[in-house]
């Protein structure tokens, strides 16, 4: 490991490579809003069989995760649960 490179500015090649990577990730992440709404409805339909959900505060979105190199795109769902149903 070169200690001097750790403190130097990134080269224009590295900057361009990172920008291209982010553009490609963003392209993979883009999805029509209608499709995302359909996914959200399907998820909520399944979950509502097992729990009561606070529908007013649901947040479902596609995000870019910088921490994951292989699969940086993630579907993130924040679904507040009021109560779990115990029907057997």
Assess if residue 58 is contained within a domain: yes
Q: Enter the pTM of the model.
A: 0.59
Secondary structure element (H or E) that encloses residue 61, with its range: strand 59-64
Report the pLDDT averaged over residues 7-35.
77
Query: In the chain, where does DSSP find H-type helix?
Result: 3-6, 12-29, 33-47
In this prediction, residue 33 has a pLDDT band, given cuts at 50, 70 and 90, of confident
pLDDT tens digits along 40-85: 999 999 999 999 999 999 998 887 777 666 777 788 899 999 999 8
Assess if residue 1 is contained within a domain: no
Boundaries of domain holding 58: 10-84
Structure confidence at residue 50 (pLDDT): 93
Q: Report the number of distinct structural domains present in the chain.
A: 1
Assess if residue 51 is contained within a domain: yes
């Amino acid at each position: 490991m070169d200690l001097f490179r750790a403190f130097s500015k990134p080269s224009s090649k590295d900057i361009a490579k990172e920008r291209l990577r982010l553009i490609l990730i963003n392209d993979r992440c883009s999805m029509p809003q209608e499709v995302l709404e359909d996914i959200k409805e399907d998820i909520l339909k399944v979950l509502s069989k097992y729990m009561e959900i606070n529908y007013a505060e649901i947040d479902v979105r596609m995000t870019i995760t910088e921490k994951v190199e292989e699969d940086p795109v993630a579907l993130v769902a924040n679904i507040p649960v009021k109560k779990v149903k115990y029907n057997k």
